[in-house]
Amino acid sequence: MKHKLPSLDALKVFESAARHLSFSLAAQELCLTKGAVSYQIRKLEQSLDCALFRRSIRQVYLTKAGQRLLQTTQHLFSELAHTLAQIKPEDASHDVIIGATTYVAMRWLSPRISGFSERHPEVSILLQHSVNSDDFRIQDVDFAIRWGQLTAARKRGLLLELPMPLFPVCSPQLLLRNGFPVIKGSLDAAELSALKLASTPLLCEDRSLDLWQLWYGKQARPLDNPRRVIADANVRTQAAVDGQGWTLADALMQRELDSGALVAPFGHQLDGYGYAIQTYPGRFVSQDAQALGKWLVDHV
């Protein structure tokens, strides 16, 4: 059956540009010119008859259509990569497979993989981005970088923990239109539930764990701000940049804080959470995977 789908090349270019929010970085990653990336994106937008990016002088931003397409392409590419890895003959050379969300891959893992690849160009590294999906199995990857509550006790298969406290951030415009100054650490946690900010949405990954209430703690009034679920951390960050609400940030969002796209007006933070680099205790780990694991631990 013939499918009326855009070209795979165009979708690959879109996924890279959307993940980096940069045509230049996508061009570097895919070994293309910036003009070739722009051309593929323009062709894709014409075929879909809708805009996927909003362009500004120094930055590109995803539209709502672009956010939806990014989530779908990342899921499909991850599934495709997983299937190809499974059907590869047993005696064929194997990639080093790392399970990590696109948020972690782009903001923490990619620079470290780049350094490793310069020293070990013969090692092929495959990223699997479905690490937070219900059907993810850690035994299918060499390493998984997973977010969650950290514990002091070392567990089997745990290579390293990366503590990263959480703190609320929002766009400067959200603060200004509610009459607050754009000053780091200038607000008390109770202000979030006070009259001026009580109606501003709190962006979250899901409703099963209310990190906002954990951050807020016991204040004079309950935290009744509306919750808005956005599962993808990159899309959640973009929504905060666009002024759609607050999101809980960690140190991986430093780029937006440094550029002023987001501000952190509360001094209070939520400790005890971060990322863990894990491997499945019963999985065979190749020498290449062991070398990469040691590299990641040594270069934190």
Per residue in 44-66, pLDDT (tens digit) is 999 999 999 998 877 889 999 99
CB neighbours (10 Å) of residue 265?
Answer: 23
- Which pLDDT does position 283 carry in this prediction? 74
Candidates 3.90.226.30, 1.10.10.10, 3.40.190.10, 3.30.70.3340; CATH matching 167-270: 3.40.190.10
- Given this model, what pLDDT does residue 49 score? 92
Please report how many Cα atoms fall inside a 13 Å half-sphere around the Cα of residue 71, on the Cβ side: 14
Let me know if the fold of 93-163+272-300 is the same as that of 167-270: yes
Radius of gyration for the chain, computed over Cα atoms and rounded to the nearest angstrom: 21
> Residue range 196-219: average pLDDT?
89
Spatial distance between the Cα atoms of 102 and 107, rounded to a whole number of angstroms: 8
pLDDT of residue 13: 92
Q: Identify the band that residue 219 occupies on the pLDDT scale cut at 50, 70 and 90.
A: confident
| pLDDT reported for residue 81 | 74
* Residue pLDDT, tens place only, 84-142: 766 665 544 568 989 999 999 989 998 888 889 888 888 888 888 887 777 778 888 88
Locate the domains of the chain by residue range: 1-66, 93-163+272-300, 167-270
3-state class of 211 per DSSP?
Answer: helix
| Greater model confidence, 198 or 1 | 198
Average per-residue pLDDT in the chain? 86
Type and span of the H or E element at 43: helix 34-48
The pLDDT, as a whole number, for residue 166 is 96
Q: Which amino acid is at 115?
A: G
What's the longest Cα–Cα distance across the chain? 65
Cα(143)–Cα(275) distance, integer angstroms:
12
153 pLDDT higher than 50 = no
Q: Is the whole-model pTM more than 0.75?
A: no
pLDDT tens-digit readout, 72-88: 998 888 778 767 766 66
DSSP letter assigned to residue 78: H
pLDDT category at 296 given cuts 50, 70, 90 is: confident
The CATH classification of domain 1-66, taken from the options 3.40.50.970, 3.30.565.10, 1.10.10.10, 3.30.2320.80: 1.10.10.10
Query: Does 93-163+272-300 carry CATH code 3.40.50.150?
Result: no
